[in-house]
């Protein structure tokens, strides 16, 4: 009997030429680096150089996170990826009542330019590529980064990196939104315009399916809803007067990589093909770079287990291999202890070593798209592509990504998938090693990394000192200019930068925009 993939598609016991039907290999596959990019976005892929090994890190204070970044760089990481704490992600200062108990817990606390300066102290920003996992306040953190670079003497046109800046998926699966969808999209369009003029090498958005997958989305749902969000962002920018080829080359994506290698490889290849066709046929993009779906991958945190955590090393190696075989541009491998707590230094180093073994000890970098022409991979790529296109059509029937979000469509679909996974796991139909099969009677002791609760008091003290030292009149004027721009049509990033330069805080800038744009409250009708 045939098994089913994670997307509910059949996996046959044996594949042969008949599985592909009337299959035109030349038009579907093409060659690497050319439309429709099924085989990869670059002609040589990893045969010239490996993917960017980008480790996601950040906790506690800026000083502690800076120390971890210095260690990662010394261990050979090629790009930094910043994790921010929940108050920062939601535009609150560390001394805000809502921040209590969460300061520095799931990422680093950044309240002002003072913290950002410490976070990147001693790190040459013209030589390091930095990704920032920040969404609703993405513009604020990007401008703080630019200001710190200016202090280092690094011109903005030398800065490379990515802001996630994908607020639509926050309404679907993650929840760290601030403003309603309409002003959030306006802010994203302002970021596109600002970066084209001021930070031309910066990737302005990382359209993310990762968090949907972590919430329970199938591979087909992950790419369908992610690409639907991408279409919404492109439409927003075009409606704001931008030419598609002026901003599309800086779009990037962010996907999960699970342990199901075959479907994950098929998923990545299908996503590239769909995006290339959408950009060419719907938006008329002419620049080949506008058609390329470039993406970062993170191994699946949701598949890590607290039981027998060392087994996660094996899971992460399998997941990382799937991402590489699927043609990712950069990769973060999770640490084996992340199901328990923040990763220890040793665990983070082992996660990086996992990538290095794949890159330098295996032969998967010796050729481009190793699975091309495989009966099973090509058939599964077609199946995932069609399943994703069907879901994207259902989003369009509801008026596009934002309208579908407001109707609860994507959220409901993902929740149904998550419930099915939970049922299968509970029934033992889906094997999770160490959880419902191959358990130990007694787990080995493990000492996790813990964040010092005194960090919150330290951040509160730093904020009090900042407010006492700065020129409050200059801050007030800058925030008033920001609100004026937000009320009209001027690009808000220019006055926002001046407010941050004057040492306005993340919370103060976010609150100024809340006063004008309001705050999003999810509907409970679905």
449 pLDDT higher than 90: no
Quote the CA–CA distance of 470 and 462 in Å, as a whole number. Answer: 12
Any idea what DSSP says for residue 373? T
SS3 assignment for 24-91: CHHHHHCCCCCCCCCCCCCCCHHHCCCCEEEEEECCECHHHHHHHHHHHHHCCCCEEEEEECHHHHCC
Residue 359: closest CA among 80, 74, 54, 125: 54
DSSP 245-296: HHHGGGEEEEEEE-S-HHHHHHHHHHHHHHHHHHHHHTT---SHHHH---EE
Residue 422 φ/ψ region, left for φ over 0, alpha for ψ in the -120 to 50 degree band, beta for the rest: alpha
183 pLDDT higher than 90: yes
pLDDT value, residue 1: 52
Residue 459 pLDDT level (bands cut at 50, 70, 90): very high
Helix, strand, or coil here: 405? helix
DSSP 440-490: -SSPPP---B---THHHHHHHHHHHHHHHHS-HHHHHHHHHHHHHHHHSSS
Instruction: Give the residue-averaged pLDDT of 303-315.
Output: 97
Q: Residue 426 — φ and ψ, nearest 5°?
A: -60, -35
152 pLDDT higher than 90: yes
Q: Residue 338 — φ and ψ, nearest 5°?
A: -70, -15
Percent of the residues in the chain that have a pLDDT greater than 90, as a whole number: 86
Q: How high does pLDDT run on average in the chain?
A: 94
pLDDT value, residue 13: 84
Helix, strand, or coil here: 11? strand
433 pLDDT higher than 60: yes
Instruction: Give the residue-averaged pLDDT of 275-284.
Output: 98
Quote the CA–CA distance of 355 and 525 in Å, as a whole number. Answer: 44
Residue 525 pLDDT level (bands cut at 50, 70, 90): very low
pLDDT value, residue 468: 98
Quote the CA–CA distance of 496 and 420 in Å, as a whole number. Answer: 45
520 pLDDT higher than 90: yes
Q: Which helix (H) or strand (E) holds 352?
A: helix 345-360
Instruction: Give the residue-averaged pLDDT of 170-181.
Output: 94
Helix, strand, or coil here: 217? coil
pLDDT value, residue 25: 72
Helix, strand, or coil here: 208? strand
pLDDT value, residue 345: 87
pLDDT value, residue 97: 97
pLDDT value, residue 469: 97
Helix, strand, or coil here: 130? strand
What pLDDT, in 10s, does the model give residues 47-62?
999 999 988 878 889 9
Q: Tell me the pTM.
A: 0.92
Q: Residue 75 — φ and ψ, nearest 5°?
A: -80, -5
Quote the CA–CA distance of 470 and 473 in Å, as a whole number. Answer: 9
523 pLDDT higher than 80: no
Residue 482: closest CA among 470, 494, 467: 494
Structure tokens at 480: 């008033």
Instruction: Give the residue-averaged pLDDT of 378-382.
Output: 95
Burial class (CB in 10 A: 0-12, 13-18, 19+), 393: exposed
Quote the CA–CA distance of 45 and 294 in Å, as a whole number. Answer: 12
pLDDT value, residue 526: 40
Residue 83 pLDDT level (bands cut at 50, 70, 90): very high
Higher pLDDT, 348 or 392: 392
Q: Is residue 369 within 8 Å of 94, Cβ to Cβ?
A: no
pLDDT value, residue 524: 58
pLDDT value, residue 26: 67
pLDDT value, residue 40: 96
What pLDDT, in 10s, does the model give residues 191-246?
999 999 999 999 999 999 999 999 999 999 999 999 999 999 999 999 999 999 99
Q: Is residue 295 within 8 Å of 268, Cβ to Cβ?
A: yes
What pLDDT, in 10s, does the model give residues 113-147?
999 999 999 999 999 999 999 999 999 999 999 99
Helical pair 409-427 and 219-239, crossing angle rounded to 10 deg: 160
Domain 3-427 fold: TIM Barrel (3.20.20)
Q: Is residue 257 within 8 Å of 264, Cβ to Cβ?
A: yes
Q: Is residue 91 within 8 Å of 507, Cβ to Cβ?
A: yes
């Amino acid at each position: 009997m045939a098994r089913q993939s994670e997307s509910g598609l059949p996996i046959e016991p044996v594949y042969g030429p008949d599985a592909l039907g009337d299959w035109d290999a030349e038009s579907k596959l093409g060659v690497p680096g050319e439309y429709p990019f099924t085989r990869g976005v670059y002609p040589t892929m990893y045969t010239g150089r490996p993917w960017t090994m980008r480790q996601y890190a950040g906790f506690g204070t800026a000083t502690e996170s800076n120390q971890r970044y210095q260690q990662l760089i010394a261990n050979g990481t090629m790009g930094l990826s910043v994790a921010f704490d929940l108050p920062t992600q939601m535009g609150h200062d560390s001394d805000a009542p809502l921040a209590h108990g969460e300061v520095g817990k799931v990422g680093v606390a950044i309240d002002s330019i003072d913290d950002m300066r410490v976070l990147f102290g001693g790190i040459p920003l013209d030589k390091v590529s930095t990704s920032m996992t920040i969404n609703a306040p993405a513009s604020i953190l990007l401008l703080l980064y630019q200001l710190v670079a200016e202090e280092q003497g690094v011109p903005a046109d030398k800065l490379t990196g990515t802001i996630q800046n994908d607020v639509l998926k926050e309404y679907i699966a993650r929840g760290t939104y601030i403003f309603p969808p309409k002003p959030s999209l306006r802010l994203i369009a302002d970021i596109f315009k600002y970066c084209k003029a001021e930070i031309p090498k910066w990737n302005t958005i990382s359209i993310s399916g990762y968090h949907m997958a972590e919430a329970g989305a199938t591979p087909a749902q992950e790419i369908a809803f992610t690409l639907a969000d991408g279409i919404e962002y492109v439409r927003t920018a075009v409606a704001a007067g931008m030419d598609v080829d002026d901003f599309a080359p800086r779009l990037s994506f962010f996907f999960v990589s699970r342990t199901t290698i075959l479907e994950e490889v098929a998923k990545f290849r299908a996503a590239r093909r769909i995006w290339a066709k959408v950009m060419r046929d719907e938006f008329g993009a002419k620049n080949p770079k506008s058609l390329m779906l470039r993406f970062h991958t993170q191994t699946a945190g949701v598949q890590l287990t607290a039981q027998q955590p060392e087994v996660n090393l094996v899971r992460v190696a399998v997941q990382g291999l799937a991402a590489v075989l699927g043609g990712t541009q950069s990769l973060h491998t999770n640490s084996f202890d992340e199901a328990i707590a923040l990763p220890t230094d040793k665990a983070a180093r082992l996660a990086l070593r996992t990538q290095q073994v794949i890159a330098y000890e295996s032969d998967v970098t010796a050729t481009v798209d190793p699975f091309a022409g495989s009966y099973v991979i090509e058939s599964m790529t077609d199946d995932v592509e069609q399943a994703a296109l069907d879901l994207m059509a259902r989003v369009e029937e509801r008026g596009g990504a934002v309208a579908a979000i407001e109707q609860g469509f994507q959220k409901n679909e993902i929740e149904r998938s998550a419930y099915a996974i939970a049922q299968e796991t509970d029934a033992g139909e889906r094997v999770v090693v160490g959880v419902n099969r191959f358990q130990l009677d007694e787990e080995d002791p493990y000492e996790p990394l813990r964040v010092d609760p005194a960090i919150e008091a330290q951040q509160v003290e730093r904020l009090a000192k900042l407010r006492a030292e700065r020129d409050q009149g200059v801050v007030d004027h800058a925030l008033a200019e920001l609100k004026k721009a937000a009320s009209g049509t001027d690009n808000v990033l220019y006055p926002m930068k001046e407010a941050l330069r004057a040492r306005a805080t993340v919370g103060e800038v976010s609150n100024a925009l809340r006063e004008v744009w309001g705050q999003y409250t999810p509907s409970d009708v679905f």
